[in-house]
Structure 1
Amino acid sequence: MTNLATFLVDSAASRGDHIAVRHDGTTLTYAQLNEASARVAALLSARGLRPGDRVALTMPNVPLFPVLYYAVLRAGGVVVPMNPLLKAREVAFTLRDCGARIALASPLFADEVAKACAETGTVCLLTEPGTFEDMLPACEPMPGIVDRSGDDPALILYTSGTTGTPKGAELSHFNLTTNTATTAGTLLQVGPDDVLFGGLPLFHAFGQTCALNTAVAAGATLTLLPRFEPRRALEIMARDGVTVFLGVPTMYAALLHAEFPEGFDAARLRLAVSGGSALPVEVLHGFERRFGATVLEGYGLSETSPVAAFNHPGRPRKAGSIGVPIRGAEMKLVAEDGGPVPPGEVGEIAIRGENVMTGYWNRPEATAEAIRDGWFHSGDLARVDEDGFYFIVDRKKDLIIRGGYNVYPREIEEVLYEHPAVAEAAVVGVPDAVHGEEVAAVITLRPGADATAEEIRDHVRERVAAYKYPRIVTFTDELPKGPTGKILKREIVVTGP
């Protein structure tokens, strides 16, 4: 049997009294989490859930999320996590596309989910306090776990849909159990005494595998933060003795510039992990100096469970690199025609191994386009050095071609982050009648800092080739971000000079 929920059952058996999940004053031990999930599993089965049925889950980072998540899995269902900020039209699309039998939703987001369920005919169970809990005592805990094979789907993660309607990446129990085991044992080396920071959205692959499932597999504690705010994050790190911080680059930049609360102490912090997008080297070094913890960068996608590459602990690390392929995964660079890439040249990352999804749900053509000859084509451009370390250059679709020359936004962003006034930066291409595309930089400044567009241009022009520096520089109070804090370049609108 390969059921992802086995991690919870095993940890409950060995460390039942240990705190599994914490959210401010609310805690659940492993025994409590295990029993609650077993009761919800029984409730879902009584409502008609059968092995293989899809269950949509709309819930913020609160202790009820893991209760429901593992309940669906142990009942043999397939979890379909959804961003709580989706509107009814978007929720309905997902429910209809995956054929969800049941939708579980927090009352905080009940209106949009209920509207969508009414449209699609999906059974909607709202987790109302004092109502949902009242149903559980009448449900005898489900004995054991429904048997699932490694190839059976455990999770459907919908991509952001930047190139069209969202697609559901179907991840099997084998995909997730192996990726979790590798992350917990080899990459983060998590033990029962560790406390993991749970500020990444749990409906996202990064938060699920690297925070929730990794913590549960190791019998560690996950301390939750429903909405990332730097000062609150610092308070939680100190209060709960966080040992492993997991975040995306914008979180690191925010913590780097945040004022420490009075008496702040993060002495237990031993490791920080960054993923989701490229972490500027200046931010990496600045965080390490300020917090005294090693930052290790990794790489992955929803389609790869998500971890595919990592700067492994105890081995040489290269700042700015996503590291090397993890155990059970292979990576290579391919040219536009699918052929090999000469050493030192830029190519698209292709991945194969036990972490790669089985395909996109009900999208055979999209699956065939993404997975060719067993290799998943990521859409990310990179270089690989003589030691096998990969360096992300950019998203294939973010590449700017100015006057026939390739400009990789990440390279320019790295230079922008070296300017003392820059807090966050995004480089995008703008249509241009002469050069085809022009390079534009959109910047937020650090609190109290000041800089002009000309100063920013000069700073970059002195450090890169003439065709690369941004002719267009604009300032904004805030860059658009997705649910994980990743900067959404597709929502940045910049007009020409």
Structure 2
Amino acid sequence: MATLSVAAILAENARRRPGKTALVEGDLRLTFAEVWQRALAQAGALTGLGVRPGDRVALMAPNTAEFPQAYYAIAAAGGVIVPVHLLLSAGEVEHVLRDSGATLLLVHPAQAETGTAAARATGVRVVTLGGEFEKLAADAEPLGSYVTRVADDPAVVFYTSGTTGVPKGAVLSHFNLVMNATVNAFDANDIRADDIALGALPLFHAFGQTVSLNSTWRAGCTLVLLPRFDAARAIELMVREGVNTFHGVPTMFVALAAAAANADRLPALRVCISGGASLPVAVLERFEAAFATEIYEGYGLSETSPTATVNQPVFGTKPGTIGHPLWGVDVEIARAELEDRIELLPPGELGEVVIRGHNVFSGYLGRPEATAEAVVDGWFRTGDLGTKDDEGFLRIVDRKKDVIIRGGYNVYPREVEEVLMRHPEVAQVAVIGLPDDLHGEEVCAVVVPAPGSAPDAAALTEWSKEHLGRHKYPRRVEVTDGLPLGPSMKVLKRELRTRYASR
């Protein structure tokens, strides 16, 4: 029975590099020893609050020092971290708390209103990060070390909507996360211990959590947090702190390339990694020209810890591709139409991207049927369509199920449709993603009015803002008298995309 904990990533740094700067946020600078001491004190507080090994603790915080501290404190106490997306409405947070069976919510003051409302509705205890939690930590007996966990024990539950519209909890083990952090740091990318990385990706998201936080600290590097991304501020901060490593989604690279023209000085970036959505080659070229550095584009999902493939120095890079699989991971193309078995296709053929390896999750929390559908013959089916060329470079061509990726966040049309269908003036609605220069895709709702009504597009957008997370509500609403239907009465979203993309 092999034991392993994500908490070891921080504990080992405290042992090997105690005096090295681990975390920078504004004027706050903490060494690895200090972050670990604080995490052990907070873990003591969690134990005092009744958190037992295997208990799920929800964490709702922006990219401030509180997030990594609480994250490692929960892991050290043997708890399972349930990161909560900051753009969710109180009703959506309620679902996460209820579905995960969380016993406690740690919430940052900035999110306290939404978090507390959701916790109250679900009867979950809530503690505010900062003052309240720090007082509990100061009064508690710190843990001597982290609590023993088995490698396959759950470490984190990421909520991901999949195509059903109802977010499902993807359970990732300590083994999944420690391996993903390790191979990201030492095999995929050329990460060196004296590197300094910018933590601008949301840490509640799998990409930010594994690549910016866990991989950076696995390599013993310094993490500089930027609570709210703004390109000009990011450039200033990177110059000031000597940042040489940047991880971002395509929208961030778009903004940085544009802001570079007005900056007095640019940071000397050595490692830039893009993920979360496909990076248009034009953006890659603009950024590389402005910053005189290469972008390594990768690909992954919450269910794969998340990194599955990335352009890696060892294989060379190819713009427009997602590179090669990570060390110890296989990524292949399978016949997309076969549901019950995996049949791999030769190079060059289009099919569904399938993944196997140490990064594949344990399953969806409490949803064995969904897990059985997703993992077939030992391969995780991504639902994405892609190809693999003769040199082994993978490319994502399209998504099997119409998911919209806006600014790196997944938006599931059905979830938006369910909400809009509750509006009294809406008879029918189809939600599609339309190409957008800034966000990659923009959410567009095509609405058929209820008889006798004439809905106003701007009013529908305002109304949906109240019921949906900020990344989900349709910025664009088109009113039409009928939706194109296929033979099985399914709405032909392809046709809608073609019709509205050209406008």
Q: TM-score range by the shorter chain?
A: 0.7 to 0.9
Please report the TM-score for the alignment, with normalisation by the length of structure 1: 0.81
Deviation at 1:342, TM superposition (A): 4.6
The 8 Å contact of residues 231 and 260 in structure 1, kept in 2 or not, is answered as no
Deviation at 1:493, TM superposition (A): 4.4
The 8 Å contact of residues 254 and 438 in structure 2, kept in 1 or not, is answered as no
Deviation per CA, 1:38-90: give whole Å up to 9, x if none. Answer: 00000000111100000000000001111100000011000000012322211
Q: Tell me what 1:243 maps to.
A: 244
Give ranges in structure 1 of 5+ residues lacking alignment.
400-408, 411-427, 429-436, 447-479
The 8 Å contact of residues 275 and 297 in structure 1, kept in 2 or not, is answered as yes
Deviation at 1:168, TM superposition (A): 0.5
The 8 Å contact of residues 260 and 290 in structure 2, kept in 1 or not, is answered as no
Q: Distance in 1 between matches of 2:476 and 2:344?
A: 34
SS of alignment partner, residue 166 of structure 2 = coil
Counterparts in 2 of 1:196-207, with a 5 A limit?
196-207=197-208
Deviation at 1:134, TM superposition (A): 2.4
SS of alignment partner, residue 252 of structure 2 = helix
Counterparts in 2 of 1:406-425, with a 5 A limit?
none
Deviation at 1:105, TM superposition (A): 0.3
Q: Quick one: which amino acid aligns to residue 320 of structure 2?
A: G
Q: Distance in 2 between matches of 1:392 and 1:22?
A: 36
Deviation per CA, 1:169-227: give whole Å up to 9, x if none. Answer: 00000000011100011122322211111000000000011010012111111111112
Q: Tell me what 2:483 maps to.
A: none
Q: Structure 1 residues 398, 329: CA separation in 2 closer, same or farther (over 3 Å shift)?
A: same
Deviation at 1:135, TM superposition (A): 2.5
Larger mean CA deviation between 252-261 and 67-76 belongs to 252-261
Q: Distance in 1 between matches of 2:152 and 2:355?
A: 19
The answer on 1:110 being equivalent to 2:115 is no
The answer on 1:376 being equivalent to 2:377 is no
Deviation at 1:150, TM superposition (A): 0.8
Q: Tell me what 1:65 maps to.
A: 67
Q: Distance in 2 between matches of 1:318 and 1:85?
A: 34
The answer on 1:211 being equivalent to 2:215 is no
Q: Distance in 1 between matches of 2:286 and 2:82?
A: 37
Deviation per CA, 1:267-301: give whole Å up to 9, x if none. Answer: 2x101100111111111122111101111111100
Deviation at 1:440, TM superposition (A): 9.0
Q: Tell me what 2:26 maps to.
A: 24
Counterparts in 2 of 1:277-288, with a 5 A limit?
277-288=277-288
Q: Distance in 2 between matches of 1:491 and 1:150?
A: 44
Deviation at 1:140, TM superposition (A): 2.4
Deviation at 1:491, TM superposition (A): 6.7
Q: Distance in 2 between matches of 1:381 and 1:487?
A: 24
Deviation at 1:441, TM superposition (A): 5.3
2:370 to 366, 374, 379: 366
SS of alignment partner, residue 35 of structure 1 = helix
Q: Quick one: which amino acid aligns to residue 9 of structure 2?
A: F
Deviation per CA, 1:322-351: give whole Å up to 9, x if none. Answer: 011111111111111243335422100010
Q: Distance in 1 between matches of 2:346 and 2:191?
A: 38
Q: Tell me what 1:155 maps to.
A: 156
Q: Tell me what 1:456 maps to.
A: none
The 8 Å contact of residues 55 and 103 in structure 2, kept in 1 or not, is answered as yes
Q: Distance in 1 between matches of 2:331 and 2:260?
A: 40
Number of residue pairs aligned between Structure 1 and Structure 2: 427
Q: Quick one: which amino acid aligns to residue 201 of structure 2?
A: L
The 8 Å contact of residues 183 and 214 in structure 1, kept in 2 or not, is answered as yes
Give ranges in structure 2 of 5+ residues lacking alignment.
406-412, 414-429, 440-463, 480-498
Q: Tell me what 2:357 maps to.
A: 353
Q: Quick one: which amino acid aligns to residue 184 of structure 1?
A: A
Q: Distance in 2 between matches of 1:347 and 1:62?
A: 41
The 8 Å contact of residues 53 and 101 in structure 1, kept in 2 or not, is answered as yes
Please report the TM-score for the alignment, with normalisation by the length of structure 2: 0.80
Deviation at 1:488, TM superposition (A): 6.5
Deviation per CA, 1:128-180: give whole Å up to 9, x if none. Answer: 43x33222222222011111011100000000455320000000000000111
SS of alignment partner, residue 246 of structure 2 = strand
SS of alignment partner, residue 136 of structure 1 = helix
Q: Distance in 1 between matches of 2:17 and 2:172?
A: 28
SS of alignment partner, residue 137 of structure 1 = helix
Deviation at 1:398, TM superposition (A): 3.2
SS of alignment partner, residue 266 of structure 1 = coil
Q: Distance in 2 between matches of 1:259 and 1:199?
A: 17
Q: Distance in 2 between matches of 1:30 and 1:261?
A: 35
Counterparts in 2 of 1:161-240, with a 5 A limit?
161-240=162-241
Q: Distance in 2 between matches of 1:183 and 1:326?
A: 8
Q: Structure 1 residues 236, 126: CA separation in 2 closer, same or farther (over 3 Å shift)?
A: same
Q: Quick one: which amino acid aligns to residue 350 of structure 1?
A: V
The 8 Å contact of residues 234 and 261 in structure 1, kept in 2 or not, is answered as no
Q: Quick one: which amino acid aligns to residue 214 of structure 1?
A: S
The 8 Å contact of residues 234 and 260 in structure 1, kept in 2 or not, is answered as no
The 8 Å contact of residues 28 and 63 in structure 1, kept in 2 or not, is answered as no
Q: Distance in 1 between matches of 2:114 and 2:128?
A: 12
1:36 to 32, 35, 38: 38
Deviation per CA, 1:93-122: give whole Å up to 9, x if none. Answer: 111101101110011111221122222221
Deviation at 1:2, TM superposition (A): 0.4
Report the identity percentage: 45
Q: Distance in 2 between matches of 1:69 and 1:319?
A: 35
Q: Distance in 2 between matches of 1:443 and 1:60?
A: 26
Q: Tell me what 2:447 maps to.
A: none
The 8 Å contact of residues 310 and 323 in structure 2, kept in 1 or not, is answered as yes
SS of alignment partner, residue 113 of structure 1 = helix
Q: Tell me what 1:274 maps to.
A: 274
Q: Distance in 1 between matches of 2:113 and 2:389?
A: 51
The 8 Å contact of residues 299 and 309 in structure 2, kept in 1 or not, is answered as yes
Q: Tell me what 2:394 maps to.
A: 390
2:344 to 307, 316, 340: 340
Q: Structure 1 residues 310, 227: CA separation in 2 closer, same or farther (over 3 Å shift)?
A: same
Q: Tell me what 1:74 maps to.
A: 76
SS of alignment partner, residue 258 of structure 1 = helix
Q: Quick one: which amino acid aligns to residue 70 of structure 2?
A: L
Q: Quick one: which amino acid aligns to residue 73 of structure 1?
A: A
Q: Structure 1 residues 374, 314: CA separation in 2 closer, same or farther (over 3 Å shift)?
A: closer
Q: Structure 1 residues 154, 367: CA separation in 2 closer, same or farther (over 3 Å shift)?
A: same
Counterparts in 2 of 1:304-315, with a 5 A limit?
304-315=304-315
